[in-house]
Chains A and B, each alone.
Chain A
Amino acid sequence: MTEAIVEVKGIGKTYDSGVEALRDVNLSFPKGQLSTLLGPSGCGKTTLLKIIAGLLPRNAGQVLVKGKPVDGPGPERAFVFQDFALLPWASVLRNVAFGLELRGEPKEKREEVARKYIAEVGLKGFEHRYPAQLSGGMRQRVGLARALTVDADIILMDEPFSSVDEQTRRKFQEDLLDLLRHHQKTVIFVTHSIEEAAYLSDQIALLSPRPGRVSKIVRPNVDHSRSPDEIRRDRGYLDTVDEIWGMLRQYV
């Protein structure tokens, strides 16, 4: 069993309004693997992700990164936002380099790194465009490039493809897996799409709502060496999807 690079122990979160979002959540995320938090709306998956990222305070429990407890954001974790969170007044190049800009890296160096990842996400040539000139899918690629540029070990993705159309979404999923093959990253992914989770993940944590709790952990039996289209027709993949749906439908 691969060691866990991120662990959450006994996480609890209650909002000021009194709503209990999470209760006693315990999970470990193996290094170098893509783990997904999956569940219906209101199950607290985004809340949990933001707690892991250090963007939301928790009421109980601990978040351990590489064995050490953490309280706020850190250089080893990078976040990809659902609504892209790009600076509308900055070019693609500046947006991708933003993480390094905040660290105080000199301009030349950070732009060099940024250009590399801009090319890797397939946006070469768009360095000097502005977000308003890009499609939704392209904007999210910028968000992903930005997260890669800071060279964090752990990438946290909050429903990154939900603001994008279905066709773009599929391509994105395939490209994401390609990208991750070349970079040794641990990814924690939030989605409400069962197909997406089954396709991408090494491990899926199913969360049940009100309050959010881990109900089951599923390890999809998917052979990622095959072509994307083959995977989507693969027995293991389809069985996983059915299994998960069976467990989640009671919450709809």
Chain B
Amino acid sequence: MRRWQIASFALFFGLWELTGRWPVSPAFPPFSNTFLALIEMIRDGTLGKAYLITAQPLALGIVLCAIAGIAFGIGMGLSRSIEWLSLPVFIILQAAPMAAIIPLLTYMYGIGMGLSRSIEWLSLPVFIILQAAPMAAIIPLLTYMYGIGLTSKVLAVIMLAAPVIVMNSYKGIRNTPPSLLQMCRSFQGTRVQEVVKIVLPHAAALIFTGLRLGLAMGFIGIVIAELLITPTGIGDLISYHSSTADYPKMFATIASIVAVAAVSLHLLQRVEFRLFPRD
């Protein structure tokens, strides 16, 4: 395995170096220049600082998503009407500005969807559409309600990550093997025991997958937000170096975010396979 990986990297960077040296465009630097630029930016701290800024809305968005999105997705999978679970959500809704309806409604229904078949019927089509839809178009709108600050960016992350997290949680719950549920009933397990001891542990694997995919979408969301709304952090670095035509540094920044996304997702996948081995 190792040999192939090294060969693969070598091939990629080798090609990059070659094409970079070819005078196709001044804006496409060869790998070596990019690498040097990367080192420089790490050394003088600009890269680190940028990531710190970018990481905030990303982390915030994902954590909010994880808590709410998973809760809702689980709710969506279960079929009992439990009103007290939906109540806090309504309270939040009352306090929040109504423009947040889109992301918040998607959340609200996680719990509702599981609790009642009628709510599931109501929500599933929305999520299916949301997964296919180019949410990016709505991102610039966020600036009108929330300005160009942290909130817009967090919402952008949430908007892109939520559908996939909710859907995966929901599917994990719905796909519980009926045989296990029957077994639980045959030993006179209560509905609560069924959910806690069977449905949730079984769904855990898919919920985690949902989180991982949600993080991937979150990365996409934050990059788009930083390119479309107002550049901060990484987006700022990219725009700045683009405007000053410092292409090696611009490339280096972009390569770094792709690499960070790739590495963190890969690590998450390793964890996932450790925790939930597949036969």
Direct contact of A and B (CB under 8 A): yes
Residues of A within 8 A of B (CB): 53-55, 72-75, 77-79, 81, 83, 85, 87, 89, 98-99, 101-103, 132, 150
CA distance A53 to B186 in the complex (A): 7
Contacts of A55 in B (CB 8 A): 182, 185-186
CA distance A110 to B20 in the complex (A): 69
**A–B complex contacts, Cβ < 8 Å, 27 sampled:** A54-B186, A55-B182, A55-B186, A72-B185, A73-B185, A73-B186, A73-B187, A74-B188, A75-B188, A77-B186, A78-B186, A79-B182, A79-B183, A81-B182, A85-B177, A85-B180, A89-B202, A98-B187, A102-B184, A102-B187, A102-B190, A102-B193, A102-B197, A103-B187, A103-B188, A132-B277, A150-B187
B14 interface hit (Cβ, 8 Å): no
Contact yes or no, B180 A102, CB < 8 A: no
- On whether the beta carbons of B179 and A85 are closer than 8 Å, the reply is yes
Q: Looking at chain B's contact residues, is the secondary structure mostly helix, strand, loop, or mixed?
A: helix
Question: Interface code B187-204, partner A: CB below 8 Å = 1, 0 otherwise?
Answer: 111100100011001100
A99 near B179 with CB under 8 A, answer: no
Whether B180 pairs with A87 at a CB distance below 8 angstroms is yes
List, in ascending order, chain A residues with CB within 8 A of B277's CB: 132
Residue of B nearest to A101 (CB): B197
User: B83 an interface residue at 8 Å Cβ cutoff?
Assistant: no
Interface set, chain B 63-104, CB cutoff 8 A to A: none
Question: A127 to chain B: closest CB distance in Å?
Answer: 19
Q: Which residues of B contact A77 (CB under 8 A)?
A: 186
Number of A-B contacts (CB under 8 A): 49
Instruction: Please give, as numbers and ranges, the residues of chain A lying within 8 Å of B183 by CB-CB distance.
Output: 79, 81, 85
B44 CB within 8 Å of chain A: no
CB–CB A85/B182 < 8 A: yes
Given contacts A85-B180, A102-B193, contact A79 B198 (CB under 8 A): no
Q: Chain A's nearest CB lies how many Å from the CB of B209?
A: 16
Which residues from chain B contact A81 at a C-beta distance below 8 Å?
179, 182-183
**Nearest A-chain residue to B187, judged by Cβ:** A99
Q: Return chain A residues, CB-CB under 8 Å to B182.
A: 55, 79, 81, 85
Contacts from B to A (Cβ < 8 Å): 177, 179-180, 182-190, 193, 197-198, 201-202, 277, 279
Within 8 Å by CB of B201, from A85, A87, A99, lies A87
Chain B residue at smallest Cβ distance from A74: B188
Nearest 10 Cβ contacts at the A-B interface: A85-B183, A79-B186, A99-B187, A102-B189, A85-B179, A102-B187, A73-B186, A73-B188, A89-B201, A83-B179
Q: How far is the CA of A132 from the CA of B193 in the complex (A)?
A: 23
Taking CB atoms, residues of chain B closer than 8 Å to A85 are 177, 179-180, 182-183
CB contacts (< 8 Å) of B193 on chain A: these are 102
- Residue in B179, B190, B198, B202 whose Cβ sees the most chain A Cβ within 10 Å: B179
The listed residue with most A CB atoms (<10 A of its CB), out of B183, B184, B189, B202, is: B183
What is the bound-complex CA distance between A101 and B194, given in angstroms?
A: 12
A101 proximity list for chain B (CB < 8 A): 197
Partner of B187, one of A78, A83, A132: A78
Q: With A and B bound together, what is the CA distance between A35 and B85 in angstroms?
A: 48
Minimum Cβ distance to chain B for residue A227 (Å)? 34
Q: How far is the CA of A212 from the CA of B23 in the complex (A)?
A: 81
- Contact residues in B for A87 (Cβ distance below 8 Å): 180, 197-198, 201
For residue A75, which residues in chain B have a CB less than 8 angstroms away from its CB?
A: 188
CB pair B279–A132 under 8 Å, yes or no, is: yes
Residues of chain A contacted by B279 (CB below 8 angstroms): 132
Residues of chain A contacted by B180 (CB below 8 angstroms): 85, 87
Residues of A within 8 A of B189 (CB): 102
Closest to B194 in A: A102
Which of B186, B188, B197 is most buried by chain A, counting CB atoms within 10 A of its CB? B186
Bound CA–CA A98/B201 (angstroms): 14
Q: What residue in chain B is nearest A77 (Cβ atoms)?
A: B186
- The interface residues of chain A lying within 8 Å CB-to-CB of B197 are 87, 101-102
CB distance from A103 to the nearest CB of B (A): 8
- For the complex, give the distance between the alpha carbons of A102 and B186 in Å: 11
Residues of B within 8 A of A73 (CB): 185-188
List residues of chain A with CB within 8 A of the CB of B198.
87
Please measure, in the bound complex, the distance between the C-alpha atom of A79 and the C-alpha atom of B187, giving whole angstroms: 8
The distance in angstroms between the C-alpha atoms of A103 and B277, with both chains bound, is: 30
Residues of chain B within 8 A of A98, CB atoms compared: 187
A79 to B188 alpha-carbon distance, docked (Å): 11
Compute how far the CA of A89 lies from the CA of B204 in the bound complex, rounded to whole angstroms. 11
Q: How many Å lie between the Cα of A150 and that of B189 in the bound state?
A: 13
